[in-house]
Amino acid sequence: MLRFFVGPASRLFALTLTLVVVAGTSGTARAELVVDITRGFVQPLPIAVTDFDGSVPEETNFGKDIARVIAADLERSGLFRPIEQGAFIQDPATLRIAPKFGDWRLINAQALISGATQLQADGRLRVEFRLWDVFAETQITGLAYFTTPANWRRVAHIIADAIYKRLTGEEGYFDTRIVYIAESGPQNRRVKRLSIMDQDGENHRFLTDGSVLVLTPRFSPTTQEITYLSYVGESPRVFLFNLNTGQQEVLGNFPGMTFAPRFSPDGNRVIMSLARQGNSEIYDMDLRTRKITRLTDHSAIDTSPSYSPDGREVVFNSDRGGTQQIYVMSSNGSNVRRITFSAGRYATPVWSPRGDLIAFTRIYQSEFYIGVMRPDGSGERMLAKGFLVEGPTWAPNGRVLSFYRQTPADARGGVASKLYTIDLTGFNEREIVTPVDGSDPAWSPLIP
């Protein structure tokens, strides 16, 4: 028997095997090579998304539209590369019987999506899809959905999420929405409206008319609610807004101003800053009892709190160390520790829903950065930079970030502010196209 170790094989392990070989099996032993593969490449998975087949033109049209939205979702994630439909050899009708895997290997597809649409007697639309592994020649998954035909776009997002989840091991994020501040008009009379859209920019709507300033919207991780900053008289206040009912309310009645709100992971509390006489501290409010708890007590400015996904810790920023840096504390305010020690200033830390990273804004030598680090402050990486990049927000699966980037004023004093998404690996930065300028995006949870 021959054992062959390359790579980080433990010596002891090797020795054990060798001894076993020497002591026992000798004549019948098979030669076996152990090879460590330590180099690969990072590229999107080539995937063939075929038009979903239908029997009548209406079904066929739904099938085409659904396939288009699925392909666009997958492509935008940066993890998949939908193959041009013009290259397809097998047509949707015969594909419905069975894939000719050879045809799909020929065009280098590694995964294949087929599907069918069917209008039911009760007026509903049935959409089914199958995900195939082209090389293993097996069906990986297959599901069917019933919906009102008007809802085809959402079904497409749900299917894209199912495919994404099956192939990456991660929850999807396509069936989500983003609220943000739509900005229009000249710099000195900027109109800011709370707006909402699907994560791909579709179904855009303005939620407020712009008569009142609205800032820093944040989505509840569990409900269709938003908390944000607006004004009562001259005083900034944290508001709660229910997307389903349109109901809006001020959170609490404090002598100072409240700002920088965020929901707790269970959606039952809002953590925020309350400023009085030039000092701001972090408070937590239980939305059911309206009871508030003070978490920090320091002469420095403590703000921008964000809960860890297990609700046990809070990340925030403070200038108690001399410059504005990021700190983590237990959710009862104890055990405060600083996690950033670099030059420059840190702002708007936000804990990933996946728990493994904290995103933040960093200001260093007049440049802004969006970065991520582990919750202990290690592994800091800058993903995006610009004259002004701000407001990182996580997709609910903790894989993708959205933020906004503002350009410096041009000769006529105009600035442009756009929304972007970026993968946490630092690749695949994409603009989210909005009807007007945008800032302060906030990602919704998966729509229930």
Partner 1 sequence: MRSGAFYSGIMHAVILAVLVFGLPSFNAPLNETVIPVEFVVLEDVDDEAVKKPPTPEPPPEPKAEEKAPEPEPPQQQAKLEPEPAPPEPKPEPEPVQAEPEPEPVAPPAPEVKPEPKKEVAEPPPVPKRRPIVKTEAPTKKDPPKPKPDQLTSILRNVEKLKDHPRPAPKDETAKGPEKGPVQPRVSVFEQNQMVQAIQQQLRACWRLDPGAREAEDLVVEIRVKLNPDGSVRQADVVDVVRMVQDAYFRSAAENAKRAIDVCSPFRLPIKKYDVWRELTLRFNPREMFGT
Which residue's CB is nearer to partner 1, number 382 or number 436? 382
Q: Beta 111-119 vs 45-49: how paired, if at all?
A: parallel
Interatomic CA distance for residues 397 and 268, integer angstroms: 20
Interatomic CA distance for residues 448 and 341, integer angstroms: 40
Residues in CB range of 66: below 8 A, 6 or more apart: 52, 115, 117, 127, 152, 155, 156, 159
Is 344 a binder of partner 1 (CB under 8 A)? yes
Is 7 a binder of partner 1 (CB under 8 A)? yes
Which residue's CB is nearer to partner 1, number 189 or number 288? 189
**Stretch of residues binding partner 1 (CB under 8 A), selected from 63-71, 315-323, 328-336, 419-427:** 419-427
Which residue's CB is nearer to partner 1, number 46 or number 330? 46
Is 120 a binder of partner 1 (CB under 8 A)? no
**Which 288-317 residues touch partner 1, going by CB under 8 A?**
none
Angle of CA points 214, 350, 446, to nearest 5°: 75
Is 65 a binder of partner 1 (CB under 8 A)? no
**Stretch of residues binding partner 1 (CB under 8 A), selected from 11-19, 48-56, 283-291, 331-339:** 11-19
Is 433 a binder of partner 1 (CB under 8 A)? no
**Which 30-49 residues touch partner 1, going by CB under 8 A?**
30-46
Q: b/e string for 200-236 if b means 16 or more Cβ within 10 A?
A: beeeeeebbebeeebbbbbbbbebbbbbbbbeeeeeb
Residues in CB range of 41: below 8 A, 6 or more apart: none
Residues in CB range of 140: below 8 A, 6 or more apart: 111, 131, 132, 133, 166, 167
Tokens read off for 199:
């994560």
Interatomic CA distance for residues 271 and 250, integer angstroms: 14
**Stretch of residues binding partner 1 (CB under 8 A), selected from 59-67, 147-155, 284-292, 309-317:** 147-155
What is the nearest approach in angstroms of partner 1 to the Cβ of residue 332? 26
Is 254 a binder of partner 1 (CB under 8 A)? no
Is 9 a binder of partner 1 (CB under 8 A)? yes
Residues in CB range of 110: below 8 A, 6 or more apart: 45, 46, 47, 133, 134, 135
What is the nearest approach in angstroms of partner 1 to the Cβ of residue 348? 9
Other beta carbons within 10 angstroms of residue 277's beta carbon come to: 7
**Which 152-181 residues touch partner 1, going by CB under 8 A?**
154-155, 158, 162, 165, 167-170
Helix (H, G, I), strand (E, B) or coil at 84: coil
Tokens read off for 224:
């269709």
Interatomic CA distance for residues 58 and 348, integer angstroms: 48
**Stretch of residues binding partner 1 (CB under 8 A), selected from 50-58, 282-290, 315-323, 388-396:** 388-396
**Stretch of residues binding partner 1 (CB under 8 A), selected from 57-65, 145-153, 262-270, 283-291:** 145-153
User: What is the phi/psi pair of residue 352, to 5°?
Assistant: -65, 140
Is 136 a binder of partner 1 (CB under 8 A)? yes
Which residue's CB is nearer to partner 1, number 69 or number 347? 347
**Which 186-245 residues touch partner 1, going by CB under 8 A?**
194, 196, 205-209, 211-216, 224, 229-234, 236, 239, 241, 243-245
Q: Which residue has the tokens 């094989």?
A: 9
Contact (Cβ atoms closer than 8 angstroms) between residue 428 and residue 159: no
Which residue's CB is nearer to partner 1, number 209 or number 334? 209
Which residue's CB is nearer to partner 1, number 6 or number 433? 6
Which residue's CB is nearer to partner 1, number 330 or number 344? 344
Q: How many residues bind partner 1 (CB under 8 A)?
A: 146
**Stretch of residues binding partner 1 (CB under 8 A), selected from 27-35, 64-72, 285-293, 330-338:** 27-35
Residues in CB range of 28: below 8 A, 6 or more apart: none
Task: Find the binder of partner 1 among 55, 120, 335, 407 (CB under 8 A).
Answer: 407
What is the nearest approach in angstroms of partner 1 to the Cβ of residue 232? 7
**Which 358-387 residues touch partner 1, going by CB under 8 A?**
362-364, 366-367, 369, 379-387
What is the nearest approach in angstroms of partner 1 to the Cβ of residue 272? 11
Helix (H, G, I), strand (E, B) or coil at 5: coil
